[in-house]
Structure formats: C-alpha cells, structure tokens
Chains A and B, each alone.
Chain A
Amino acid sequence: MVNRADAIVVGAGVVGAAVAAALSAAGRRVTVLEQGVPGGAVSGASLACIGTHMMDEEELPLLAWCCDAWAALDAQAPRFEYSRCGQLRFLKHDGERRSAETWIGIERAAGLAPELLEPDAVRRIEPELTGPIVAATWSPNSAVVNPFLAVRTLLDAARSGGAGIVAGAAATRILTAGGRVAGVETAVGRFEAPLVVIAGGPWTQDLAATAGVDLPIVPRKAQCLATVATRPVIRTVVGACKAEGGVDAGYTQIQQAASGQVLFNTVLEGGVTAAGGRDSVPEVDRAFVHDSVDTLLFLFPRLAALDLLRSWVRYEAVTPDDRFLTGPAGPDGLFVAAGDGGTGFVRSLGMARIVADRIAGKESPFRDDIYRPDRFVERAAA
C-alpha cells in the first residue's frame, strides 16, 4: 500500500497534532503517523500547564503568544477542559525571595503581570493552602488543559482539514531521493510526501539519524501521581519557586483536574536521563513518591486522608539548552519539532507556527533562530 500526501507528520503527541492542524489549516493534505496511541506517550502523561512563569527569558514572547493561542483554541473548540486558573510558586524559605523577585522582574519587563504575595494574599487565592510557606509568586495568566482532550482537539482540527491519522504506524526510516525527502517507511507500509515533520519527542533522534541528521535529544524520566477524585480543593497550579540551578534543580507541580483528581509531583534532584527507559517505562521511584506526597501534605495538610489512585512515568525529550529543536534539518523537505524539556504543551502551538511559516515561506512573528536544530553543531565547530 502506498499512501501519498502533501506532508507527513511523524508523531501524534501535542506537537505533532499541532503541526498537523497548522499544516491542514494552510491547505495541505497531511498524514499523521503514530507508533502507539495518539497522545499516549509523553503528552498524555503531562500535567499540561500553559503559562509563562519562571520559563526561559528568551522564549517569553513566544510563550505569551502560545498562551493566547491556547485561549483562542478553547474559544473555538471548548472541549479540552481549558481553565485559566493562574499559577502560584511557593517559597519555603526567605532566601528564595531574591530568586522570585528576579523572575518577576524579567517577566514584568516582557509585559507580563506576575507578583509576589504574602501568605494571607496567597490564601485568598488558594484557601486550602494552609502549609507554612513564607510567600508565593502569582502568575495570573497560567492555564491548564486536559492533555488527552487537547491532543484530540488538535487532531480533530487536522482531520476536519482533510488530514488522515494512522495509529499503530511506527516510523522506521526517512526515505530520500535525489537529496530530497520522499516519505517515511513504517511498520505498516510506505508513506510518500515531499515534506516530513518529525515530532516524535524522545524518539525523534533515532528517526532523524536514518536521514543522516544528528540531534542531541536525550530521554529524561518524569514521574507523576494522581489521587482519587475529590471535592474542589485546589484552584490553581501550585509549584515550587524555581531555584538556582535551572532545570536540574528539581520542581514541584500540583493541580486538580476537572475530574476532581489531584495531580502532583515533586522531584528534588532533577530527572534522570536513560536512553532505554522510554521504551520500557518503569515504575515510579520510592523516594519520588515520598517527596511528592510530603510536599503535597506540607502545602495542603487537610488532604492527608485522601487516597492515592495512580502513578505514572514518562520520558520527555531533553536538549542541551532545554529548548526545542524546531525547523529544517538535513535533506530538503525534512523538518523536526522536538525537545519539549517537560514543558512541551505550552510551546507546541508556537513550534507548529514556526514549522508552518517556514514551510509556507513566511516570516515568523517571533525569533526562530534559538530553536534551529543545527545550533549545537555550529557551536561544536566554533
């Protein structure tokens, strides 16, 4: 069976779905290839926070655009539990104030409106956060979405533009002819198209390598816990103030889904990277379970008797500078959009925009040079 399309998107996670929706909207006939279940790997396991708070300074204009784009998508197709609930980042020690103030300064300079709140003010926003915090930052523009339904909504948009979605089609090789991309070989047959976008998360580098493209993507273990559904307790996204040390210094994220389940995680020492882990997803670590429950109950002690229901592990795609690799790579017609660094949900619409603009020969509304897939090759050469 030969399937022909204008463009193939490899990967039906949130990035691939967003790219497929953007290319479909531009009038291209798209085929989406997914090795497993659409949204079933990294995206589905995400806590899917849409926000600009304590993120990469250079990316702020894109992130702000993404926040608006998600709100616009919700206005158009309100079926993915989008909630602009705002985000709190708690401070456990006075020593963290300087870090918090630095972040607030950076974001205010970019036209955003975060602020530092004392405990009383925090409790007006999050009444059951009764733990002994010293303060918290507040970023009102943050939102959460249901990750599964968000991917489904984007794929639905792609399909209504004529896209076909093939689940269970593991891509094994990029096909080229005369120095140009010709299609993708998969476990279920050959798919042909003059444009291929690899949005395969932590599997991207393997497929890109078949076209001679070397991408510095490493899979990193990320873990999460969920309680049984309970009454509305947590209104916002609650996280820890980002400390010195960047992404490797650990993080906390706590929120309550529309289902009533409390979703939470605390990683104190940063995630562990492991090349093989992504294909044989292991259990959560004992210490991770302890630290996560400990932090949740430190902040929300009244939840002590609530039942834990489930845990899960995913492997997110990490790059050396924690930014996506997005843009053309290798042979003509080949693009990549991968390297979520654990915050791919918010950035997916922006990455899709960059890819769609580049394919259409349009100028991007924000700088795309910081995402160039070959940026590390150049640095190494220099």
Chain B
Amino acid sequence: MRRVETDILVVGGGPAGLSAAIAAAGAGARVDLVDAGAAPGGQYWMQDPVAGATSQQAAEGSTAIASARAAGVAIHSGAEVWAAFPGGEIMANDAEGPITFQARSIVVASGAQDRVYPFPGWTLPGVMTPGAGQRLAKLGKTAPGRRIALAGNGPFLYAVAATLASIDATPALLVESGRARAAMLGLLARHPARIAEAVSLIAAARAVPDWRRGHVVTEALGEERVEAVRIAPIDERGTVDTARSERIDGIDALLVGWGFRPMIELTALLRCRHAYDRALGGWYCVASPSTGLTSVEGVYAAGEVTGIAGSRPARLSGTLAGLSAAAALGFESAGMEERRKGLVRALASARAFGHALGRLAPPPDGIADLARDDTIVCRCEEVTRGEIVAALAEGTRAVAGAKMWTRAGMGRCQGRICGSAVAEIAAAETGTSPAAAGFNPPRIPLRPVPLDVILEATRGSAP
C-alpha cells in the first residue's frame, strides 16, 4: 500500500486548494494535494482534457496547476479522501487502490456543490442542476437540451447562461427568484472592481429571450422527461404565490439550483466547528479570517467550505491558509508577514462582496414547501415529503430524527442532496430553525469505498 508522509496535505484542487498548495510549497514545505477530479482545477478552473483551455477561466486554472507543479506540489488526481482516523492518518483511494497520508497539517479546500430543494417533477429526466449543466457544456461542449430553462437564484445562473451561450445553447428561459436590482447596483457601487465582470454576466442573462425575475419554478411537467415548467411569482411577503402560476411549454431541459452548499464532510469528520447561515449556503466550517485555521489544531480550511463567497475569496483564503500552515510548521520566508497582512485585508473585502451577493438572493422562505406530500425528497432512499412530515408529527425531530424514522439521508449520497430540504422541512414542522435541525454528521467512509480497498488500507497497526 502507498504511504505518503508530508508536511501539508491539501484536500481539493480548485482555486482555494491550488492557491494553498502553491503558497505552502513556495514557503518551503513539502506539499501533497489530493483531488477527486481526473485533472485538478475543480469546478471553477475546470480543465477539459480533450479541448484544453478554451476559456479565460480554464487558462487561469492551467497556469495555477503549472505553478503548483513547478513549486514541487505532488498532485494526486482521481483520489477521493474517505477517512480521517485519530492520529492524523488521512486515507484516500484512486484507481490503483488506497493511499494513506500522514501530514503534519491539513488544508481542507473541499469546495461546494449545488444546493437543491425538491419540487414536483424534479426527478424527471432532463431536470438537473446548473452546475451539472455547466459541466456538460464545459467538458463535452454538450448542450443539456435544445430549449433550456435555467432557474433558481444567484449570479452563478448568469455564468451558466454565458457558458451555454459559448456553445450556442443560449437558454430559452431564465427564472430568477431575486429582483433586488437597486441593492445589486448599490453593492457594485461599493465594489467598483467587480463592475466589468457584472456587466458581462448581466449581458449573458439579457441574451436569454424570456427572463423572469421574482419567479420560481414550482413544477416540472412531462411524461418520459421534462416537457414544460410551471412558474409562479414571489409576493411582497417573499413567499411563492402558487395561485398566480403559469405554464411554459416546449422545455426539454431544466437546470435548477439555489446557489451552493459548502462540502463540509471532511471538516465535520475532523470535528472542526461549523456554523449555519442560509445566505452562505447553510452549514460552513468556521475558519479564522486571519489564518484560515479551524477550531482544530493543524487543520485549516479555505474557499467555499468556509461559506459560499466565490472564486476570488477562494484564491485569497487558499493562499492565506497555505502560508499560515507553512509558517506554523516553521517555513517562514522574508516579507511573509507583510504579504499575509495584505491577504487578510483583500480577503475581508472580497468575502464581504461575496457574502453580500449571497444575501441579495437567498432561496425564498418556504422553498422546501414546493414539494407535495407525494414528492420524493430523498432520492437515494425514495422518501417522500409526506413520510417525513408524518414522522415529525409522530414525535421525532431534527434532521437526525427524520433520517432514523424515514431513512431520508441514509442512502448512497448520505444526505448531501436532500439535507438542506430535510432541515427546512423539519424546522417548519416542529417550529424550530434549520440551524437547530442540524445536519447528518459525516462518518467514515466519507464516500462509498469497496470493502477490499478498505481491508488493504487498514491492514497492519496504526502508527
């Protein structure tokens, strides 16, 4: 079995992870980076193995990957971390089997995934997340459909519209819950450096022939696959007014998502402290704004896992965490302290922008109520909203209780997909908050791993 001893293990090869690895290796530390993707880059700096870097984002990513390699970072692609055992052993496995890392410090830059809420018809073929649609467009230059509806909230929708436009697949319909135009302009006025980017994103949205602000998709309709969507406006109180719904036909792909949720599985397994903020994606790992250190000694967190804020704070927080982790191990270089101070200031400003953007368009209240009693909430175990509501009425409570009594969150994805919705349903049904409803605590293995791989990985005694 492969065993790697290193100074700093970086988990995640997106902007945050690569930035952390470059900074730490540049300071003189031995750095290993594990990433689940076939190539590093993550979702934002996604590398197309066939077409190469065809966008500015991909080009930035390939530069970062080259810098990391030049700095001596050992990159382990296609490797998923599945365990952290007491004593500091981190286990991953790739196509060749298990790899065990023994690191002095760890930087978790595990990123984010699309946040989804169930609604009638969301399990129909042709319904996917904006992130999945963008991945198809970026990697295979494949359009998810011919008449695409893009729905949910946040600026990411505009970015997906732009990506789709770049492969001649401009969406037919954009349904956006937010309508805070004035607030958006005010935010941009405070962050003028972001105006150019905003203008280009808004242009992508404008190119969509039918752009509905202040609306949500309440239902996907179709027999074998999605054929139409039903949309409804959000009223003055911020709730979805289903009485004024409207059906839009001729749709063959629906990309719907509500921003992102931080992927806290590893930081939670490592027992780092977490906090809840719906506008930052729900549960996120708490990290020091001046070092990136979590509540656990030797464990740093950077990027979206510390709260959804976008790629700029991800890069800055990655660099900061990488430098801080290296410095804590004694790898200090001249001018490092000054550099860190500058990073802390830049990060605070970039995060403030990202967080403000998140607060402009959170998912509407009661979004989990779009699901009807017979709508499946947990797709892995096929648990309906009605079953969850019945269990809560019979005396269980919280995400943990809903899981135990109905199996919601007990399947292959371990609640990564349905977790936000189950928490909001549990909160609404028992008169508490989604934060109080908690989350499904991750346990070993973080991802399903074959038994024979586990047998080999755990052979022999721990150090």
Cβ-based interface call for B3 (8 A): no
A308 to B457, CA, bound (A): 13
Interface members, chain A 281-332 (any B CB < 8 Å): 282-287, 289-290, 293-294, 296-297, 303-312
A38 to B443, CA, bound (A): 21
* Shortest CB distance A364–B (Å): 29
Residue contact A311 to B397, C-beta cutoff 8 Å: no
Cβ-based interface call for A96 (8 A): no
- Partner of B455 from the list A36, A259, A297, A310 (CB cut-off 8 Å) is A297
Interface size class of A (residues with CB under 8 A): 35 or more
What is the interface of chain B mostly: helix, strand, loop, or mixed? loop
Cβ-based interface call for B369 (8 A): no
Residue contact B397 to A168, C-beta cutoff 8 Å: yes
Residue contact A227 to B451, C-beta cutoff 8 Å: yes
Residues in A with CB closer than 8 Å to B381 are 259
Q: A152-B405, A305-B452, A308-B451 are in contact. Are A289 and B395 (CB under 8 A)?
A: no
- Partner of A310 from the list B85, B401, B414, B451 (CB cut-off 8 Å) is B414
Residues in B with CB closer than 8 Å to A282 are 86
A307 to B391, CA, bound (A): 29
Residues in A with CB closer than 8 Å to B279 are none
Residue contact B444 to A303, C-beta cutoff 8 Å: no
Residue contact A309 to B448, C-beta cutoff 8 Å: yes
Residues in A with CB closer than 8 Å to B450 are 304-308
* Shortest CB distance B54–A (Å): 35
The chain A residue sitting closest to B407, CB to CB, is A259
Contact with A along B390-434 (1 / 0, CB 8 A): 010011111011001101001110100000000000000000000
Residues in B with CB closer than 8 Å to A287 are 458, 461-462
A296 to B458, CA, bound (A): 15
Residue contact A167 to B395, C-beta cutoff 8 Å: yes
Residues in B with CB closer than 8 Å to A143 are none
Cβ-based interface call for A148 (8 A): yes
Residues in B with CB closer than 8 Å to A227 are 451
Interface members, chain A 115-132 (any B CB < 8 Å): none
A285 to B400, CA, bound (A): 23
Residue contact A310 to B400, C-beta cutoff 8 Å: no
* Shortest CB distance A4–B (Å): 19
Cβ-based interface call for B172 (8 A): no
Interface size class of B (residues with CB under 8 A): 35 or more
Interface centre among A36, A40, A156, A159, by most chain B C-beta atoms within 10 angstroms, is A40
- Partner of A306 from the list B398, B405, B451 (CB cut-off 8 Å) is B451
The chain A residue sitting closest to B455, CB to CB, is A293
Residues in A with CB closer than 8 Å to B237 are none
Q: A155-B395, A283-B85 are in contact. Are A148 and B451 (CB under 8 A)?
A: no
Contact with B along A219-259 (1 / 0, CB 8 A): 00000000111000000000000000000000000000001
The chain A residue sitting closest to B395, CB to CB, is A165
Cβ-based interface call for B454 (8 A): yes
A355 to B259, CA, bound (A): 54
The chain B residue sitting closest to A281, CB to CB, is B441
Cβ-based interface call for A25 (8 A): no
Residue contact A308 to B401, C-beta cutoff 8 Å: no
The chain A residue sitting closest to B400, CB to CB, is A37
Residue contact A286 to B407, C-beta cutoff 8 Å: no
A40 to B402, CA, bound (A): 10
A38 to B450, CA, bound (A): 32
Interface centre among A283, A297, A304, A311, by most chain B C-beta atoms within 10 angstroms, is A283
A297 to B459, CA, bound (A): 14
Q: A148-B404, A229-B411 are in contact. Are A308 and B449 (CB under 8 A)?
A: yes
A159 to B462, CA, bound (A): 49
Interface members, chain B 250-288 (any A CB < 8 Å): 269
Q: A155-B395, A290-B458 are in contact. Are A307 and B407 (CB under 8 A)?
A: no
Interface centre among B381, B444, B462, by most chain A C-beta atoms within 10 angstroms, is B444
A289 to B83, CA, bound (A): 11
Contact with B along A1-26 (1 / 0, CB 8 A): 00000000000100000000000000
Contact with B along A32-45 (1 / 0, CB 8 A): 00001111100010
Cβ-based interface call for B60 (8 A): no
The chain B residue sitting closest to A148, CB to CB, is B404
Cβ-based interface call for B445 (8 A): yes
- Partner of A297 from the list B86, B414, B448, B452 (CB cut-off 8 Å) is B452
Residues in B with CB closer than 8 Å to A312 are 443
Residue contact A293 to B396, C-beta cutoff 8 Å: no
Q: A37-B404, A309-B414 are in contact. Are A293 and B394 (CB under 8 A)?
A: no
A220 to B280, CA, bound (A): 39
Residue contact A167 to B397, C-beta cutoff 8 Å: yes
* Shortest CB distance A381–B (Å): 42
Q: A283-B86, A284-B444, A309-B414 are in contact. Are A152 and B391 (CB under 8 A)?
A: yes
Q: A156-B394, A259-B407 are in contact. Are A297 and B401 (CB under 8 A)?
A: no
* Shortest CB distance A72–B (Å): 22
- Partner of B448 from the list A155, A156, A304, A307 (CB cut-off 8 Å) is A307
Residue contact B405 to A283, C-beta cutoff 8 Å: no
Residue contact B458 to A40, C-beta cutoff 8 Å: no
Cβ-based interface call for A359 (8 A): no
Residue contact A38 to B444, C-beta cutoff 8 Å: no
- Partner of A40 from the list B391, B404, B461 (CB cut-off 8 Å) is B404
Q: A167-B401, A296-B451, A308-B449 are in contact. Are A283 and B412 (CB under 8 A)?
A: no
Cβ-based interface call for A213 (8 A): no
Cβ-based interface call for B373 (8 A): no
A12 to B455, CA, bound (A): 37
Residue contact B445 to A148, C-beta cutoff 8 Å: no
A311 to B84, CA, bound (A): 13
* Shortest CB distance B133–A (Å): 27
A259 to B404, CA, bound (A): 13
- Partner of A38 from the list B401, B449, B462 (CB cut-off 8 Å) is B401
A40 to B86, CA, bound (A): 25
Q: A37-B401, A38-B401, A312-B443 are in contact. Are A286 and B85 (CB under 8 A)?
A: yes
Residues in B with CB closer than 8 Å to A293 are 451, 454-455, 458
Q: A168-B397, A310-B414 are in contact. Are A39 and B451 (CB under 8 A)?
A: no
Cβ-based interface call for B241 (8 A): no
* Shortest CB distance A203–B (Å): 17
A39 to B397, CA, bound (A): 11
* Shortest CB distance A187–B (Å): 14
Cβ-based interface call for A133 (8 A): no
Cβ-based interface call for A149 (8 A): yes
A selection of 20 A-B contacts at a CB cut-off of 8 Å is A38-B401, A39-B404, A40-B400, A40-B404, A167-B396, A259-B381, A282-B86, A283-B86, A284-B444, A286-B85, A286-B462, A289-B454, A304-B451, A308-B448, A308-B449, A309-B412, A309-B445, A310-B443, A311-B443, A312-B443
Closest 8 CB pairs of A and B: A307-B448, A37-B401, A290-B458, A165-B395, A304-B452, A148-B404, A286-B85, A167-B397
